[in-house]
Chain A
Amino acid sequence: MRMHLRRVIKEGVINFWRNGWVSLAAILVMVLSLFMIGSLMFSNVLLTSALSRIEDQVDIGVYFKKEATEDEILNAQAALLQLAQVKSASYISEDEALEKFRTRHATNALITQSLEELGENPLQASLNIKAKDPSQYEVIARFLDASAYSALIDKINYFQNQVVIERLSGFLGASRAAGFGITIVFSLIAMLVVFNTIRLAIYTSRDEISVKRLVGATRRHVRTPFLVEGAMYGIISAIITMIIFYPLTLWIGPAGARFFGGPNLFNYYLSNFFEIFFILLAVGVVLGVISSSIATRRYLKI
């Protein structure tokens, strides 16, 4: 068994080397495909971070009537935090609201003056709520509307922003689905191209396969060196692809981070190096081995 394994591995490696041009073509195509799959991984990182940033900017404010006490509002906050859909609910007291308002309009003399003249704080205490998913704001708003706290609530700005939030939630969902769909489709195309290239590579060896069979080699004996070759395409292509991504992410990283406001791809590449490499390696090797196995099957029949 060990002798057999050593021989087929040796033969696979030698064939790989001696079929130089065919191996080169197969590797080239596989590098392109792995590159595409890797690029999809990177763009998904950017897309996800951009989407979650947008998502993070969506929230609803619940404004309480002047007569609501702080305790009552904190009770409402506690009740909200019990809800499965709520990610956070931060309390902003009247004073904090005023403070924020002042700082925001510090340069506007008219507003500052009006506030001075008004004498009292016109702003309301509020709860700023973020949902785990933008589609859940309606549930939260309805919960508040129907709860015992509704008497304390002056207004919930969800109902003003409902259309925008719903659209945004729809857009985020669609973007994710599209990103996922594109990844799947392009990965499939990449795999088909690799599969066909390897099939062609093995087509050139069909006479060799039949001679080996006629000399009395078992199917396994004939097939295994081709599987070794297929695995080598995968390993070498994954390494080359990782090398290509180094300067590429270094170059694109800062611009991408600025444009999408997401992480720098180069940092992502470095910190997830082994993860990315392992995925590309696994895809490459599995693809190479399976393609070779399917491609040799039809010539093995004799």
Chain B
Amino acid sequence: MIYFDKVSKIYSPTSTALEDVSFSVEPKEFVSIVGHSGAGKTTLLKMLLAEDKPSSGKVFFESVNVHEASRDELPRIRRRIGSIFQDFRLLPNKTAYENVAFAMEAADASDEDIENDVPQALELVGLMDKALHFPHELSGGEKQRVAIARAIVNRPDVVLADEPTGNLDPLNTREIVELLKKINKLGTTVMLATHNHDVVNGLERRVITLDKGKVVRDDKKGRYII
């Protein structure tokens, strides 16, 4: 369902983020992308969201090259991809509830669906009691759980998680990873970029290892080896 075809991203002659990266991801897979900081993990995920354009190569979501998607098509693709970021990226002047509801409004969901699904998503991440809190009133782990609720509320086909535990303590890290596993079990493809050994080794799922922008390993039941 996701296919990277010889993707390179060169910011300048001395700075190459991705080099000739090719791989594909099947539906319902749980893929970890690992590597040191600066190995190109974030760039890779940005390519799929079309947040940034590759210097060469193509990125397909199903049969659509996301970098050639039309103005109307791109938002529709993005609604099928839920994103989670290291810095949470919640909207600061919206409550937890509104942050999640917003993703549904963006997808033109009806009021009834929003009133029905947002509490469900918040329930799933265990934050229904903090629904009316603003992000600055939440802890790091809580913010990330709101972000996860936002990412899954539109029932996406894929969830991209870019260092979701990077700013969290071990306890919160474990909770977030458990949530991602749960989401995957419910049938959603998960792509997790991380440099946390314990997280990756605990998953025992497919691991793609990046080093200096190149794919150096791709193991079915991999570990963090580098």
Contacts and interface: CB of A to CB of B under 8 A. Distances in A.
Interface stretch (A36-44, A79-87, A207-215): A207-215
Contact of B75 (A3, A15, A207, A217): A217
Given A19-B93, A208-B91, A214 B51 contact: yes
B71 to A, nearest CB: 7
B135 to A, nearest CB: 11
A219 interface: yes
A207 B93 contact: no
A216 B106 contact: yes
A7 interface: yes
Interface string A212-234: 11111111010000000000000
Interface residues of chain A: helix, strand, loop or mixed (majority): helix
B93 A215 contact: no
Contact of B150 (A15, A207, A215, A302): A215
B105 A216 contact: no
Contacts of A18: 93
Contacts of B83: 214-215
A216 B107 contact: yes
A219 B78 CA distance: 13
A215 B102 contact: yes
Contacts of B76: 216
A208 B49 CA distance: 16
Contacts of B102: 212, 215, 217
Most B-side CB within 10 Å, residue of A215, A217, A218: A215
Given A208-B91, A216-B76, A221 B110 contact: no
A7 B81 CA distance: 23
B146 to A, nearest CB: 12
A213 to B, nearest CB: 8
Interface residues of B, number: 29
Contacts of A208: 91-93
Most B-side CB within 10 Å, residue of A4, A14, A213: A213
Contacts of A19: 93
A215 B78 contact: yes
B103 interface: yes
B72 interface: yes
A302 B83 CA distance: 15
Interface string B107-122: 1101100000000000
A7 B93 contact: no
Interface string A181-221: 00000000000000000000000000110111111111101
Contacts of A218: 71-72, 75, 106
B106 A212 contact: yes
A214 B150 contact: no
Contacts of A210: 51
A217 B104 CA distance: 9
Contacts of A221: 75, 105-106
A216 B79 contact: yes
B89 interface: yes
Nearest to A6: B111
Nearest to A7: B105
Most B-side CB within 10 Å, residue of A3, A4, A214, A219: A214
Contact of A3 (B51, B71, B81, B111): B111
Contacts of B80: 216
Most B-side CB within 10 Å, residue of A3, A18, A211: A211
A215 B103 contact: yes
Interface of A: 3-4, 7, 14-15, 18-19, 207-208, 210-219, 221, 302
A-B CB proximity, top 7 nearest:
A216-B79, A217-B106, A216-B78, A18-B93, A215-B103, A218-B75, A216-B75
Interface of B: 49-52, 71-72, 75-81, 83, 89-93, 102-103, 105-108, 110-111, 150, 154
